[in-house]
Amino acid sequence: MSVDDFEFRSSTVPASGAMALIGLSGLVATHRRR
């Protein structure tokens, strides 16, 4: 179970970080358009 949890975190953390960057870049693009 600990191994699965480790794999889940190692695959989820980078994904969430990428989503955060995409969200920030999206907000910046929206503000620049206005």
Structure tokens at 4: 């699965």
Query: Residue 20: is its pLDDT beyond 80?
Result: yes
**What's the CA gap between 20 and 32, in Å, rounded?**
18
> Average pLDDT of the chain?
80
Query: Residue 16: is its pLDDT beyond 70?
Result: yes
**What's the CA gap between 26 and 31, in Å, rounded?**
9
pTM (two decimals): 0.50
